[in-house]
Chain A
Amino acid sequence: MWTSHIRVKGTSMSEAKFARYKGLIILIILLFISFTLMGFSQTKISIQFKSLAFAVLYPFQFAGVTSITFVKDFFTSMKNNKYLKEELIQTKKMLEKYERTQYEFEEIKRENERLRRLIGIQSELEYETVIAEIVAKSPQNFYKTLIVNRGDKSGIKKWMPVVAYQDNVKCVVGKVIDVQQYSARIHPVIEQTSYIGAMLKDKRYSGILVGQSPLSENCLLQYVNRQIDIHYGDIVVTSGMGGVFPKGIMIGEVVSVSKKRYGIFQEALVQPKVDFGRLEEVYIITKKVTEEFNTLFKED
């Protein structure tokens, strides 16, 4: 009788204690799971799991984001309807101008090819591109990941370089980091975990361009020879080293230079040419990334 009473009392006491600390226990368990997930994030299993989870999540995200964009576009188009006629006239004028420019461009291109052949320089390789629309982005401000509506079915492969045309200039956006059947995730050049080979266009000195987001939208050009003078406004382009980006694509302009008292290198802050805020579509260069680079990256 006594034993059973104590047991009942004991059970109810432990239940009461559990109820009291239930929230705290759940908190500890959830924080432990989150921390463990962070610890294993760089493993192959975790990366594959994330890729698979993204493939499952993408259709819902696409449907949701498209609905929001549709509503926004509906109201915007109603508002802009009256300006359409005016825009059409202007577009026709621009088209005529571009047709003339296209003809001149073809002429210059042919002449350039002929001169290159004369002095024995091999033509630069031209790559095919796939146009892709940005359909979503990372919901956290902390990351700048972009999601596009082209994937494996359109011939997109991992590590392919991504560019955009803004103000008639071809400029670097980032590289493809994950490919699904109908979507791909792009790792932008401003992300802090992004490293690309870059060089100063006029001075031809190269370095490594590192992203700074979320701290800044600018990038840092590191490991540039200390002996050269870098000035405000100097153009930075891709160096072609690293195997992902073809050589000579516009990255941005130098906005400041920092030289430490010691060391053999200097650093420059580079403002990317591409405005990520008004980026709507991108071009994925269907360039096969060299196998050596792929292996190297996987080993990393």
Chain B
Amino acid sequence: MRKYIIFILWIIGVFFLQSSPLYEHIGVRGVTPDFLLIMISLAAFILGPIAGQIIGFITGFIVDIIPAVELLGLSAFAFTLIGYVVGIAGQKVYGNSVLIIITLLFVVTLVKAIVLSIFAALFLEPGYFGYFSHGKIFLEAVLNSVIAPVLLIIFTKIERKTA
């Protein structure tokens, strides 16, 4: 239960951070890491696929409410899928969790981009389709992969301290 509370609080904090104009200044070459994606992936990796996909769905649904573009359910779809996939990987794959997290975050960033591209092109404008192959995505994937292990270590320390 403690793990759930820590993750929920982190996700709420990250949601506010990403909503703030300050977030634009965190990036490298105009590309910012997706902390929400990182947190959902870490939650799924530690708590399993069911918790991961439910957290992903709720977070994605809330994220979808904000944009002025009318496409409800897009982020919810992507984050639910990612929550499940990372949760399954966390259960099945054994080894150095830092290395696994790095690889997983790189892959799920690309998965997120592909899902967003396909559905935005299908429901909004065909021009969105090129998004997944854009150079920015690969840089975002690298940033997410680098930041995720650091957050995993911080989470482990917080969890131990609050035990």
A61 nearest CB neighbor, chain B only:
B19
Q: Is the CB of A143 within 8 A of B69?
A: yes
Chain A residue nearest to B134 (CB atoms) is A215
Chain A interface category by residue count: 35 or more
Which residues of chain A come closer than 8 Å to B80, judged between CB atoms? 27, 30-31, 34
Q: B16 touching A61 by the CB < 8 A rule? A: yes
- Interface with A: B95-103, B119-127, B145-153, which one? B119-127
Beyond A27-B80, A34-B77, whether A57 also contacts B21 by CB under 8 A is: no
Given contacts A31-B77, A141-B140, A193-B125, contact A186 B131 (CB under 8 A): no
Contact with A along B11-42 (1 / 0, CB 8 A): 01101111111111100001110101000000
A233 at the interface (CB under 8 A from B): no
B81's partner among A31, A143, A185 (CB-CB below 8 A) is: A31
Partner of A72, one of B22, B62, B73: B22
Q: Which residues of A contact B49 (CB under 8 A)?
A: 23, 27
Which chain B residue lies CB-closest to A134? Answer: B21
Give chain B nearest CB distance to A181 CB in angstroms: 17
Q: Complex: how many Å from CA A72 to CA B16? A: 13
A215 to B136, CA, bound (A): 9
Determine whether the beta carbon of B19 is less than 8 Å from that of A185: no
B19, B80, B84, B127 interface centre (most CB from chain A within 10 Å) = B19
When distances are taken between beta carbons in the complex, the residues of chain A under 8 Å from B62 are 57
Q: How far is the CA of A145 from the CA of B21 in the complex (A)?
A: 11
**CB of A273 closer than 8 Å to a CB of B:** no
Q: Which residues of B contact A39 (CB under 8 A)?
A: 123
Asked whether A191 and B68 contact (CB < 8 A) given A26-B53, A30-B53, the answer is yes
> Which of these binds chain B: A7-15, A45-53, A110-118?
A45-53
**Chain A min CB distance to B29 (Å):** 12
Does chain A have a CB within 8 A of B6?
Answer: no
Interface contact B63-A67, CB-CB below 8 Å: no
- Asked if residues A68 and B87 are in contact (CB atoms below 8 Å), the reply is no
Q: Is A241 an interface residue (CB 8 A)?
A: no
B116 at the interface (CB under 8 A from A): yes
**A265-298 CB contacts (< 8 Å) to partner B:** 277, 279-280
**Residue contact B128 to A192, C-beta cutoff 8 Å:** yes
**8 extra interface residue pairs, beta carbon distance < 8 Å, beyond A65-B16, A65-B20:** A34-B73, A38-B73, A47-B70, A137-B24, A139-B18, A141-B34, A143-B67, A191-B68
What would be 25 A-B contacts, judged by CB atoms less than 8 Å apart?
A: A23-B49, A23-B84, A27-B84, A33-B73, A33-B76, A34-B60, A36-B73, A37-B64, A37-B72, A38-B73, A50-B70, A50-B72, A54-B65, A57-B65, A69-B20, A134-B21, A138-B19, A139-B36, A140-B18, A140-B67, A142-B131, A187-B69, A193-B69, A217-B30, A279-B21
